């Protein structure tokens, strides 16, 4: 009797521990795979690519690497001499056109006052139209002067916003082309975090929910909230070919990994003593609203 009791007890102890282990294991698996967190988060910032509106030699670089600049501060200047010459030239042309216009005007006034016996009708009409032509030509040169002034003004490149100059490689004496970016500026207060969440976790996330970012290698917790969720990512199995036809990858794997969707997180609070740098890594966990209520 006692022997059978011990036999049953043996089975009972073992199987209950095994059952508990299976239960806890499944629960942990479920929580690990399906809770709203990711270790793949990146700090990002808005970067302005500063490019000049005119070509020319760089005559002055007014900032140093990593310098903080205010909106409107001079960043660098392009040699002005050419633009000053252009302005002087257009001004001179403008004067010429103005004189021509005045001359035509006087001519017309004179001819308009004379009788039909002295000046023909045709001559008078021509004189009137010549005034219009001269006026249009003069006005054209006025806009040319304005453009030349604009070029001169734009030869000084100024900061479009508050921020930091980053990775400054431009030097005095470089020749730079119009529209070519040579300076990157990180906009102040434009930092945000992109949390790359697996697609299966996306249904757990909602806009407005609190997010906690643990910065890699530190104990700092940056707080924020979900601002938006990306509406689309690229289809890696269908890269359109040159003739815009579908190019579907014929290989398909048995084991599939969840793709990652960027979730934009607005930063609300940065702990004191911690400097945010664009490109930093962090793990993001979302505090779900339902949990908070409980």
Partner 1 sequence: MPLDITLYGIQMPTLLPIFVIVAILQVTVDSIIAETGLYRHVWHPGLFKVALFVCFFTLPCLYIYH
The residues of the shown chain that bind partner 1, judged by CB under 8 A, are 6, 9-11, 13-15, 17-18, 20-22, 24-25, 27-28, 31-32, 35, 37, 39, 214, 216-219, 283, 285
CB of 14 to partner 1, least distance (A): 4
List, as one string, the DSSP characters of 170-228. --TT-EE-TT---EEEEETT--EEEEEEEGGGGGG--TT-EEEEEETTS--EEEEEEEE
- List Cα–Cα distances, 284 to 205, 215, 216, 262, in angstroms: 12, 9, 11, 12
The total number of residues written for the chain in this structure: 294
Q: Supply 87's token pair.
A: 């302005």
**Based on the number of CB atoms within 10 Å of its own CB, is 180 exposed (0-12), middle (13-18) or buried (19 or more)?**
exposed
* Smallest distance from partner 1 to CB 207, Å: 22
Q: Closest separation between CB of residue 6 and partner 1, Å?
A: 7
Nearest CB to partner 1, comparing residues 218 and 238: 218
Query: By three-state DSSP, how is residue 1 classified?
Result: coil
Shortest spacing between CB 271 and partner 1, in angstroms:
14
Rounded to a whole number of angstroms, the minimum distance from the CB of residue 17 to partner 1 is: 4
Half-sphere exposure of 252 (CA within 13 A, CB side): 4
DSSP, res 248:
B
Max distance between CA atoms of the chain, in angstroms, equals 150
According to DSSP, the residues that pair with 261 across neighbouring strands are 197
Cα separation, 253 vs 209, whole angstroms: 35
CA pair distance 68, 56, nearest whole angstrom: 25
* Comparison of 58 and 282: residue with beta carbon closer to partner 1: 282
Closest CB to partner 1 among residues 20, 112: 20
Closer residue to partner 1 in complex, CB, 35/181: 35
Min separation Cβ 34 and partner 1, Å: 9
Nearest approach, Cβ of 260 to partner 1 (angstroms)? 17
Nearer to partner 1, 33 or 239 (CB): 33
Token pair 């992109």 is found at 194
In the complex with partner 1, the residue whose CB is nearer, 107 or 281, is 281
User: Apex CA 113: angle with CA 111 and CA 117, to 5°?
Assistant: 70
Nearer to partner 1 by C-beta: 22 or 114?
Answer: 22
């Amino acid at each position: 009797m006692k022997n059978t009791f011990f036999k049953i007890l043996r089975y009972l102890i073992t199987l209950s521990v095994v059952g508990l282990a299976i239960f806890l294991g499944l629960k942990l698996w479920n929580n690990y795979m399906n809770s709203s967190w990711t270790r793949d988060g990146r700090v990002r910032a808005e970067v302005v690519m500063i490019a000049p509106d005119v070509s020319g030699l760089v005559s002055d670089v007014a900032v140093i690497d990593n310098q903080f600049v205010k909106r409107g501060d001079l960043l660098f200047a392009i040699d002005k001499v050419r633009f000053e010459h252009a302005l002087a030239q257009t001004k001179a042309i403008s004067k010429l056109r103005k004189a021509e216009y005045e001359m035509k005007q006087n001519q017309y006034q004179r001819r308009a006052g004379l009788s039909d016996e002295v000046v023909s009708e045709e001559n008078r009409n021509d004189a009137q139209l010549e005034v219009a032509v001269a006026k249009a030509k003069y006005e054209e040169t006025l806009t040319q002067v304005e453009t030349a002034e604009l070029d001169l003004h734009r030869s000084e490149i100024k900061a479009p916003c508050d921020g930091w100059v980053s990775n400054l490689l431009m030097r005095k004496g470089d020749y730079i082309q119009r529209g070519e970016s040579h300076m990157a500026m990180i906009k102040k207060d434009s930092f945000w975090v992109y949390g790359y969440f697996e697609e299966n976790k996306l249904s757990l996330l909602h806009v407005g929910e609190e997010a906690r970012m643990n910065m890699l290698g530190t104990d700092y917790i940056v707080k924020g909230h979900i601002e938006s969720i990306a509406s689309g990512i690229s289809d890696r199995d269908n890269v359109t070919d040159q003739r815009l036809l579908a190019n579907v990858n014929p290989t398909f794997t048995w084991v599939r990994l969840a793709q990652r969707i960027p979730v934009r997180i607005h930063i609300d609070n940065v702990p004191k003593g911690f400097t945010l740098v664009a490109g930093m890594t962090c793990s993001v966990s979302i505090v779900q609203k339902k949990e908070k209520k409980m």
